[in-house]
């Protein structure tokens, strides 16, 4: 009996030891992370997951999920994490998990899901590098911990190192991401409903509704606003045949976010949307069917070639305005100085300004005018049609001697005035006109320290208040450089801000 008792005790102890040693997978970090409030994206490195379960628990059916707790004011920086994440360890060496996995995100970007290709074996591990977090808007009173789950039924496993956010004087410089999944649904003959998905930014508080109708493009000025989390907007007082267009832009207080994709819809009569189908009774005729062997020839697939706009310019790859230049080039608004160069930092002249602003209006390419629009603008010059049409619209004016001086550089102030005239023509925005007129009649105050009581101050001030231009930092305050020549890149960015192509 004594021997049997000792044997049983030994076996129980062995089983107890085994259950302790291999109870569940574990998660450990290289170090604690203390992050300044309102800082930019921060990398959490060297997170190791080890399958210390008696029966392997990390499986291909579930993968590895790492969560940021709801009490921590942060989310995953999805773009940076997707682009930079890398894995190493024996599970990578054995092909159980990829070195650069195709991760996804859940729970408002609070959770990252790392796919597992094959079930882990006991004691196999993987170390995860470059998990980027962002959105540190509130400091933490106590330390917070990342958690790891390997199945829906298992309890979350807590990381051994903490993340804390300490109070900082940093300014929030991270704009909200763009809203997604925009859809328009017609409600009545005169109304539509716009729905979307808000970005996951933790400090988002309002969504700006940007709107265009019929021939007018989407305006860069908010038509209306809705609060964070509402995710729908009703637009009324429309008519059958109206073409309504929307884009959305989030705002978090100090920052305007990225602009969403554009969606559009043409209103039709609701009677056309509801088509009642009468049931048709099918006559069933029974007949003897003689089966014949049919040899099917493979059908030829129709090949649809998708046109992808490629960057034709060799001199904008690293330029600060490359995205806007490519966008307006694809829209046909701007062209290069030749087939391979845009010359982004070169000056914009008066002829080029007339051309790009005319294209913004959306008219067909102009033909050669019947006569010279100005004494120094020959009717057969490449820019004569643009200048002639802009003159007819009373948006440009020549000099008292009958010249236009097309080769002269245009200043930043002159271009702003012309751009606002085009914006007013396209949108019919009476508020802009009223604001400019009020500034013309009153004292010409401005936010820029280098502007005084000049003819262009109302135009520049109005454009700045509507956030179409921002100037540049100077000591102290901000300056605009109104009389400086405007560069081709600066002109492109202003147009993109005005009309959001």
Residue range 392-401, pLDDT digits in tens? 998 898 899 9
Q: How many helices (H) and strands (E) does the chain have?
A: 11, 23
pLDDT of 301 strictly over 60: no
Q: Are residues 39 and 79 in the same domain?
A: yes
* Rounded Cα gap, residues 83 and 43, in angstroms: 12
Give the CA dihedral 419, 490, 356, 462, nearest 10 degrees.
-10
User: pLDDT tier at 254 (50, 70, 90 boundaries)?
Assistant: confident
User: pLDDT tier at 8 (50, 70, 90 boundaries)?
Assistant: very low
pLDDT of residue 501: 57
Provide the domain count of the chain.
Answer: 3
The β-bridge relationship of strands 157-166 and 33-36 is parallel
Q: Are residues 197 and 161 in the same domain?
A: no
Residue whose entry in the numeric block shows the structure tokens 């070169």:
346
Decide if 281 is inside a domain: no
CATH for 237: 2.60.40.10
User: pLDDT tier at 284 (50, 70, 90 boundaries)?
Assistant: low
Decide if 315 is inside a domain: no
pLDDT of residue 276: 43
**H-type helices in 428-486, by residue range?**
430-441, 457-465
pLDDT of residue 16: 43
pLDDT of residue 38: 81
- Among 228, 248, 271, residue at a domain's last position: 271
Residue 283 has phi, psi (to 5 degrees) of: -80, 125
Decide if 326 is inside a domain: yes
pLDDT of 71 strictly over 70: yes
Residue 254, classed as helix, strand or coil, is coil
What does each C-alpha distance from 94 to 25, 76, 119, 124 come to in angstroms? 18, 28, 11, 9
User: pLDDT tier at 450 (50, 70, 90 boundaries)?
Assistant: confident
Q: Are residues 482 and 378 in the same domain?
A: yes
Tokens describing residue 242: 């109206």
Q: Are residues 482 and 351 in the same domain?
A: yes
Q: How many CB atoms lie within 10 A of CB 219?
A: 21
- Among 166, 201, 226, residue at a domain's last position: 166
Q: What is the mean pLDDT of residues 198-203?
A: 86
Q: Is 123 left (phi over 0), alpha (psi -120 to 50) or beta?
A: left
The per-residue pLDDT of the chain, averaged, comes to 83
Q: Are residues 98 and 247 in the same domain?
A: no
User: pLDDT tier at 297 (50, 70, 90 boundaries)?
Assistant: low
pLDDT of residue 5: 42
Please tell me what DSSP assigns to residue 163.
E
Q: Are residues 412 and 364 in the same domain?
A: yes
Of the candidate ranges 25-34, 183-192, 237-246, 279-288, the one whose mean pLDDT is the lowest = 279-288
- For 121-164, what is each residue's pLDDT tens digit? 888 999 999 998 988 888 888 888 999 998 888 888 898 888 88
Tokens describing residue 134: 């962002």
Q: Are residues 155 and 204 in the same domain?
A: no
Q: Are residues 185 and 267 in the same domain?
A: yes
* Rounded Cα gap, residues 175 and 258, in angstroms: 7
Decide if 493 is inside a domain: yes
Tokens describing residue 441: 């009649």
Q: Are residues 491 and 373 in the same domain?
A: yes
Q: Are residues 340 and 488 in the same domain?
A: yes
Cβ neighbours for 275, distance < 8 A, ≥ 6 positions apart: none
Decide if 452 is inside a domain: yes
Provide the CA 344 distance to its chain's centre, in angstroms: 23
- Among 99, 134, 166, residue at a domain's last position: 166
User: pLDDT tier at 298 (50, 70, 90 boundaries)?
Assistant: low
Give burial (CB, 10 Å; 0-12/13-18/19+) of 107.
middle
Q: Are residues 108 and 185 in the same domain?
A: no
Decide if 45 is inside a domain: yes
Q: How many CB atoms lie within 10 A of CB 241?
A: 10
Q: Is the dihedral of CA 70, 71, 77, 81 positive or negative?
A: negative
Decide if 303 is inside a domain: no
Tokens describing residue 105: 């995100």
User: pLDDT tier at 216 (50, 70, 90 boundaries)?
Assistant: confident
In which element (H, E) is residue 266 found? strand 263-266
* Rounded Cα gap, residues 407 and 334, in angstroms: 17
CATH for 69: 2.60.40.290
Q: What is the mean pLDDT of residues 472-487?
A: 86
Q: Are residues 338 and 434 in the same domain?
A: yes
Quote the domain boundaries for residue 435: 322-499
pLDDT of 214 strictly over 90: no
Full DSSP string of 338-378: SSS---TTSBPBHHHHHHHHHHHTTPPPPPPPSS-SBTTB-
User: pLDDT tier at 432 (50, 70, 90 boundaries)?
Assistant: confident
Decide if 284 is inside a domain: no
């Amino acid at each position: 009996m004594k021997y049997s008792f000792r044997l049983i005790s030994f076996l129980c102890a062995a089983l107890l030891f085994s259950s302790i040693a291999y109870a569940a997978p574990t998660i450990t970090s290289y170090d604690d992370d203390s992050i300044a409030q309102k800082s930019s994206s921060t990398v959490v490195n060297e997170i190791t997951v080890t399958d210390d379960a008696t029966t392997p628990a990390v499986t291909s059916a579930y993968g590895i999920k790492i969560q940021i707790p709801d009490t921590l004011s942060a989310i995953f920086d999805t773009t940076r994490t997707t682009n930079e994440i890398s894995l190493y360890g024996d599970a990578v060496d054995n092909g159980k998990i990829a070195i650069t996995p195709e991760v996804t995100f859940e729970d408002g970007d609070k959770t990252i899901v790392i796919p597992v290709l094959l079930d882990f074996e006991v004691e196999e591990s993987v170390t995860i590098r470059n998990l980027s977090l962002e959105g540190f808007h509130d400091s933490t009173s106590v330390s917070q911990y990342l958690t790891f789950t390997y199945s829906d039924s298992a309890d979350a496993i807590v990381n051994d190192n903490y993340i804390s956010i300490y109070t900082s004087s940093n300014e929030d410089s991270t704009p909200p991401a763009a809203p997604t999944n925009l859809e328009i649904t017609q409600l009545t003959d005169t109304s539509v409903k716009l729905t979307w998905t808000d970005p996951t930014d933790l400090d988002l508080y309002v969504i700006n509704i940007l709107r265009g109708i019929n021939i007018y493009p989407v305006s860069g000025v908010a038509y209306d606003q809705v609060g964070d989390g509402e995710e729908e907007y009703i637009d009324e007082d429309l008519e059958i045949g109206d073409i309504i267009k929307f884009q959305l832009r989030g705002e978090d207080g100090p920052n305007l976010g990225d602009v969403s994709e554009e969606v559009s819809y043409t209103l039709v009569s609701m009677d056309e949307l509801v088509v009642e189908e009468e049931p048709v009774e099918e006559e069933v005729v029974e007949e003897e069917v003689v089966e014949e062997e049919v040899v099917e020839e493979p059908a030829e697939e129709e090949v649809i070639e998708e046109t992808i706009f490629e960057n034709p310019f060799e001199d904008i790859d690293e330029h600060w305005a490359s995205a806007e230049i490519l966008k307006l080039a694809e829209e046909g608004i701007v062209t290069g100085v030749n087939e391979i160069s845009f010359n982004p930092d070169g000056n914009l002249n008066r002829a080029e300004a007339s051309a790009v602003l005319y294209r913004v209006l959306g008219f067909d390419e102009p033909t050669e005018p019947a006569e010279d629009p100005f004494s120094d603008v020959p009717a057969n010059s490449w820019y004569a049609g643009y200048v002639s049409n802009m003159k007819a619209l009373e948006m440009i004016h020549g000099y008292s001697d009958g010249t236009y001086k097309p080769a002269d550089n245009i200043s930043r102030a002159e271009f702003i005035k012309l751009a606002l005239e085009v914006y007013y023509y396209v949108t019919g925005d009476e508020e802009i006109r009223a604001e400019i007129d009020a500034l013309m009649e009153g004292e010409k105050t401005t936010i820029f320290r280098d502007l005084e009581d000049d003819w262009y101050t109302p135009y520049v001030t109005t454009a700045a208040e509507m956030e179409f231009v921002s100037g540049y930092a100077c000591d102290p305050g901000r300056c605009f450089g109104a009389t400086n020549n405007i560069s081709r890149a600066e002109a492109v960015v202003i147009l993109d801000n005005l009309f959001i192509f």
